[in-house]
Chains A and B, each alone.
Chain A
Amino acid sequence: MCCTRFWIRGSGTGDHVTSVTDEQTTLATRVLAASRRVPVIPLAILALLGLSALLAPIIAPHPPLEIDLANAFLPPFYHDGGSMTYPLGTDQLGRDILSRVIYGGRISILLALGVVIIGGAIGTLLGLISGYRGGATDSIVQRGVEATLSLPTIMVAIVFVYIIGQSIAAVVLILSPFIAASFARMVRGETLSVRNMQYVLLARVAGASHMRIILRHILPNVAGTIIVLATLEVGSLILVEATLSFLGVGIPPPMPAWGLMVDSGREFLTTRYWLTLFPCLAIVLTVLSINWIGDWLRNVLDPKQQLE
């Protein structure tokens, strides 16, 4: 509808945008303004998660690998027979569920972050170059990206880890290319559209070098999308890792991993649900919160959004 933009800016570029004051310029103030809409709950959840991952050795009540068969299958504290010593109960080997959830989170997050950083950096670079240069370079990179994205991630990962052997490094190695491809595609698309923007043309007219254009014009305008994508990929990676661990090709035991915990608790689902429930809850809450935050971040990072 033609008029929805009318009262935001005017159907010509009318000179009546006078509402913005001097204060709304810095990032800090933009964040402050956006904080009116900040999704507090997911932020709190993620903060809690981050903190516990960081401070795991301090907060976790028990060492996660400590086996104590005498205390196996203890229920969570709110059942008869449970206690606050093992707040969420213990598993079949007497290991404290809470501690394992905490440590498992730590590993999951580190792995997800690692893959996103490595894959994201490579993918962004490829996307920028491919989108900016166009032509043959672009075609080659695109074919590579398309090929990678058409592969079923989980299956390829299973085969790879099976061949190489289960380890954290193996998981990181096989997942990074998929993330890289996803970033490359997204960044290329954005690069293509920014490249033809008038301000980029004017930078060329002023004599800017290609490097300068990419770093000072294209990258900042693509950054918002990259950050949102990174956030969302972290979420999906946590799920992928959980799936791989569940299938036995993810994080090698006895290291605690949420997926692994879900799998090993499976046979006791009806009788001792807590082995599976809590790691499941952890996965769900984490991924949900990450996605929520990712959306909010996108709004914060766009300077124009603040006008409304």
Chain B
Amino acid sequence: MSDVTRSSETLLEVVDLRTFINTRQGVLKAVDGASFTVRRGETVGLVGESGSGKTMTCLSVMRLLPVASAEIVAGEVWFDGKNLLEASEAEMRRVRGRDIALIMQDALAALSPVLSIGEQVGEPLRHHFSYSDADVRSRVIEVLDAVKIPRPSERLDEYPHQFSGGMRQRIVAAMGLGTSPSLMLADEPTTALDVTIQAQFIMLIREVQESTGMSVLWVTHDLGVVAQTCDRVNVMYAGRIVESGEVRRILKRPLHPYTIALMESVPSIGTKREKLYQIPGQAPDLRNLGAGCPFYARCPARMDICENEFPSATDDGAGGFVHCWAVSQ
């Protein structure tokens, strides 16, 4: 990241976000007190497995909760000086797709098969701005070119099925980038892509960031992707952020037992291990979370206090923090 595009100004600040879902078997705490920030020009990672709450966090920021039974019950989401959770729906519609873009994993599902890519990439432009048709078209070509779709002026009338998986994901990115958003929420955008296509995509987003200064909240479960894209990382488990910090600090000197376990359990090229570390047990039932640390049952470093009290934050000495009693000793 060049210093020109980065400043210490905070773009997004999420404070103690809680999103719960009412199910027949109880209240499911999808996000249970998540706090993090994203600065201008920065790339922040949100790492976790399924059930960690990372997707629901993104959707909560956009106030696009997937089911009627889901509700943001507490917290603040400060974006550009405004608390989005208190904004009206009309105000949210101005933010969504214009200042904050959201791209997700399944590009095929995000694209309508019956509309041309030109129409789909142009839709946010038409919705948010009063461009003329010619202006929209030229902007669409510009954006498609920026995401490296070959011959965009010819291809913008083609349909999604005429493109490969990697190109479709880039088209989805184009849909988000047309309005020059200041923040992009990318939820596992490369998980379904081949590794060479993933690498292309990572480079592409990096280039866009370098030229526009856009911030990215990169949600993933892949620590390699995190290493190659993020400046700072938040590790989520069972709806909470258990560790946060600079990417080098997290990857080279992880503090939280879950982060450590995750890194030990993932094979990586070059590090030969006899046996991968196995995290025992399984993820907790989000309907039955106690007041203690959600990782308690599976933690090799657990102590009595962990079962009853969620650990307070301990500074990691490099601008980040970790929630762990064992570390704060």
Contact = CB atoms under 8 A, between A and B. Distances in A.
Contacts of B67: 3-4, 7
A16 B30 contact: no
Q: Is the interface of B mostly helix, strand, loop or mixed?
A: loop
A3 B66 contact: yes
Contacts of B287: 19
A6 B66 contact: yes
A19 B50 contact: no
B66 A1 contact: yes
A19 B283 contact: no
Interface in A101-124: none
A202 interface: no
A18 interface: yes
A51 to B, nearest CB: 34
Category for how many chain B residues contact A: 20 to 34
B50 A14 contact: yes
B286 interface: yes
A6 B50 contact: yes
Category for how many chain A residues contact B: 10 to 19
A16 B283 contact: yes
A70 B319 CA distance: 103
B100 interface: no
A83 interface: no
A206 interface: no
A18 B287 CA distance: 10
Contact of B55 (A11, A15, A16): A11
Nearest to A1: B66
A7 B28 contact: yes
B105 A19 contact: no
A144 interface: no
B25 interface: yes
Interface string A34-68: 00000000000000000000000000000000000
Contacts of B21: 7
3 interchain residue pairs of minimum CB distance? A14-B50, A15-B282, A10-B50
Interface of B: 21, 23-25, 28, 30, 49-51, 55-56, 59, 66-67, 104-106, 109, 188, 221, 282-287
